[in-house]
Structure 1
Amino acid sequence: MNWKKVAIAAGVGALAGYVVKEQLSNNQGVTPEKALKIAKEAFKKQGPISGSWIYMRPEELNKNGINYDVYRGGISKQQDGQTSQFEFYIDTDTGTIVDVAETTA
């Protein structure tokens, strides 16, 4: 009888561990690669892009009194024969573009 209780306890423990692992893996937020893909898709709606980059480490950004953990990156576009560069910030949890600014070279 004792071995049955041990087997049931081991099975329940393994199932609980699997459920916790799945929940944690689903809540990891957005990777830098995914953040760059989101930004590129948004910018492509307004025309072709010629280059892009992203920092792999999250930064903290205070926007309108709210703190965000963000990835910072940039996009280059050709507009009217000139290259325009934009810097963007994407929330690491939701993948939302928090801020975009045109930069000067």
Structure 2
Amino acid sequence: MKKSKIGIFALGAILGGISGCILRTLYYQHRAKHTDMILEQVKKEFAKKGNVTGSWIEMKPVVYATGDKNFKVNYGGINRCEKGHIVQYEFIADAMSGMLIDIYPVAGQPALKDDDLL
């Protein structure tokens, strides 16, 4: 009788461990990317074409509607030195993947070609 109880316990422990591993993997695949990581990605891209002098990002994602789709996004901003002037940009990044959805200069900034953004 003891051997069957040990076997049932072992089977339960194994199944519980496997279930835990699967749930952990699913959790990390579907959670939002950390905002600090998103900001670091954007800063790295902006630094390729000029010195980044400042940056910020909203910590709480918001819903962004485009056409028939809704995304959770983070808004943020970057200051970069370009041709001797500090130019401010704002960006919208997908909260799940960190992918940039939009980048635009703040109103009142010098107009630049799309090639100059990133």
TM range (shorter): 0.7 to 0.9
* Structure 2 match to 1:60: 63
Q: How has the CA–CA distance of structure 1 residues 65 and 47 changed in structure 2, closer, same or farther, with 3 Å as cutoff? A: farther
Identity, in percent, stands at: 26
48-57 or 10-19, which moves further after superposition?
A: 10-19
1:5 to partner: Cα distance: 1.6
* Structure 1 match to 2:88: 85
SS at match of 1:14: helix
* Structure 2 match to 1:76: 79
Summarize deviations over 1:23-71 as a string: whole Å, max 9, x none. Answer: 3123323110011011111211221111101110001222355322111
2:103 is matched by which residue type in structure 1? V
Matched, 1:2 2:5: yes
The structure with the larger Rg is 2
TM-score, structure 2 normalization: 0.77
Distance, in Å, in 2 between the alignment partners of 1:86 and 1:99 is 10
RMSD of Structure 2 on Structure 1 (CA): 1.8
Unaligned runs of at least 5 residues, structure 1: none
24-33 or 80-89, which moves further after superposition?
A: 24-33
TM-score, structure 1 normalization: 0.85
Unaligned runs of at least 5 residues, structure 2: 109-118
Return structure 1 stretches of 4+ with deviation > 4 angstroms: none
Distance, in Å, in 2 between the alignment partners of 1:14 and 1:65 is 40
* Structure 1 match to 2:24: 21
More strand by share: 1
1:97 to partner: Cα distance: 0.4
| Aligned length, in residue pairs | 105
Distance, in Å, in 2 between the alignment partners of 1:10 and 1:27 is 26
Alignment of 1:88-103 (within 5 A): 88-103=91-106
